[in-house]
A = this chain, B = another copy of it.
Amino acid sequence: MAGVRDGLSKKAYVRAGELARAAGVSTDTLRHYERKGVLGAPRRSANGYREYPPEALARVLLVRRALAFGFTLEELARVLRTRERGGAPCREVRALAAGKLEEVESRLRELRVLRGELRAILGEWDERLAGTAGGGRAGLLESLTESRVSSGRHGNVRAPLRRGRKRNGRRGTDDEKD
């Protein structure tokens, strides 16, 4: 375990591996966070190893938590940087979080609709399959196209919630009238 424990203070500088373990991430991830500006480059020991101060752990955990809340590393970097310079990005953070909440709610609506459609279609299929033993062949897929539901692209299910980029929009029949 090689706990640094140098007799001095309770907690001293730790190396990448230890911090990573403590935070539940990989050292690769730590490097990535540093590169993205959410962690801050730690000092280096004589041999070039990173030596993180005890506070780093809290920072990493904070980042993890914020990520779980839907923040992106980029947003986080911006906010943290502002704060590091004495700024008070509180309102911005609040706004950001509010945006996340909206996204989540929107997504919830979409998924609820999707769930309903899935249940309906499954029910229908089971009914049909009951009558078509063995090598079915009843066009299950086909019935998708007919499903009476809105068909309003509820967002590609897995759509990263951060949907919609179309910076230039070349062709693609913009049928987005929402």
Interface residues, chain A, with chain B CB atoms under 8 Å away: 17, 20-21, 23-29, 58, 61-62, 65-70, 79-80, 83, 88, 90-91, 93-94, 97-98, 100-101, 103-105, 107-108, 111-112, 114-115, 117-119, 121-122, 125-126, 129, 132, 135-138, 140-142, 144-145, 147, 151, 153-154, 156-162, 170-173, 175
Q: Would you call B101 and A118 a contact (CB within 8 A)? A: yes
Q: Would you call A157 and B104 a contact (CB within 8 A)? A: yes
Q: Would you call B26 and A90 a contact (CB within 8 A)? A: no
Given contacts A23-B173, A90-B132, A90-B138, 8 further A-B contacts (CB under 8 A): A28-B170, A28-B172, A62-B145, A70-B114, A88-B136, A93-B125, A97-B122, A107-B111
The answer for the CA separation of A34 and B122 in the assembled complex, in Å, is: 28
Residue of B nearest to A22 (CB): B173
A172 contacts across to B, CB distance below 8 A: 20, 25-26, 28-29
Q: Would you call B157 and A161 a contact (CB within 8 A)? A: yes
